[in-house]
Structure 1
Amino acid sequence: MLASANRITHGGDYRATVRRGSKHVGPNTVTYIRASDSSSDARFGFIVAKTVGVAVVRNRVRRRMKAACYELLPHVRPGVDVVVRALPGAASQPYRVLFDELSRSLTKGSVLA
C-alpha cells in the first residue's frame, strides 16, 4: 500500500497533473506525469471511471495499479506527480500486463532512476 506521502489526495493536484503533465497512452492506461516540488516524495493518483466496470471490477483494477506503483516507487525520482487513468480494457488484464505498461510509461516520461 502506498504511504500517504506518496498519494495525491487533492482534486487540484489531480487537475494540475492531468492538464499540465506529459501524457503517455498505452492500450489499457493513460499516464500523466508532471514534475512538482523537488523536495517532496513521488506521488501517485488513480482514476478509474465507471466505464471500466462495476464497483468490484473498478476496485480490483485500482488495487492492481496501486500495487504496480508501489513496486516501482523505489525507482521513481522524487518530486514527480503521476496520475494513472484506467481505460475499459484494463478490467480484463492481469497484474503483470498493467505493471509492464506502467513501467513503460514511466520510462518514456524519464522518471525512473
Structure 2
Amino acid sequence: MRRSDDFTDAVRGGARSGTRRLVVHLSGADGTGPAHTPLAGLVVSKAVGNAVERNRVKRRLRGLLSSRIGELHDGEKLVVRALPAASGASSAELAGDLGVALDRARRRARR
C-alpha cells in the first residue's frame, strides 16, 4: 500500500482490533470496482523508537505480513500500526499479536 487514500480508507472505514503491541485495521472490498489483489501497509511512528528500532520493527512486520497476505481476500486493505511496546518484542511475540488482532478484526468486519 502506497497511497494515502488507501491508508485512510482502511483506517476510517475498516474494522479495528488491537493488542499491547499492534493495532490492525481491516477494510473489506467495497465491491464497486474490479477485484484486485489485497493491499497491506505499515505505520510505525517515532513513538516506537529511533530509526534503527523503527526499521527493525518494520522488517519483522513485513516478514510476517508476507506470509499472511495470502489469507486476505481480493480487495481487502490491511493496515498494521505498531505501538511503542513493539520495539522490545520478539518476532514470535509480534506474530502472535498479529494473528490475534487479525482474527478479531475479521470477526468484527463480518458483523
Asked if these proteins are the same fold (TM beyond 0.5), I'd say yes
Normalised TM-score (structure 2)? 0.87
Does residue 67 of structure 2 align to residue 71 of structure 1? yes
* Aligned twin of 1:83: 79
Normalised TM-score (structure 1)? 0.85
Pick one of 54, 57, 60 that aligns with 2:53: 57
Pick one of 1, 11, 23 that aligns with 1:18: 11
Aligned to 1:85, what secondary structure does the other structure show? strand
Supply the distance in 1 between the matched residues of 2:96 and 2:6 (Cα, whole angstroms).
Answer: 25
Aligned to 2:106, what secondary structure does the other structure show? coil
Q: Which runs of 5+ in 2 are unaligned?
A: none
Q: Alpha-carbon deviations, 1:36-90, whole Å to 9, x = none?
A: 2561111101000001000010001011111111111222222210001100000
Query: Residue type of the partner of 2:9?
Result: A
Does residue 32 of structure 2 align to residue 36 of structure 1? no
Confirm or deny: 8 A CA contact 1:48 1:62 kept in the other structure: yes
- Counting matched residue pairs gives 104
Supply the distance in 2 between the matched residues of 1:77 and 1:95 (Cα, whole angstroms).
Answer: 25
Identify the structure with bigger relative contact order (alpha carbons < 8 Å, sequence gap 6+).
2
* Structure of higher CA gyration radius: 2
Q: Which runs of 5+ in 1 are unaligned?
A: 1-7
Supply the distance in 2 between the matched residues of 1:48 and 1:67 (Cα, whole angstroms).
Answer: 15
Query: Residue type of the partner of 1:35?
Result: G
Q: CA RMSD in A?
A: 1.4
* Aligned twin of 1:3: none
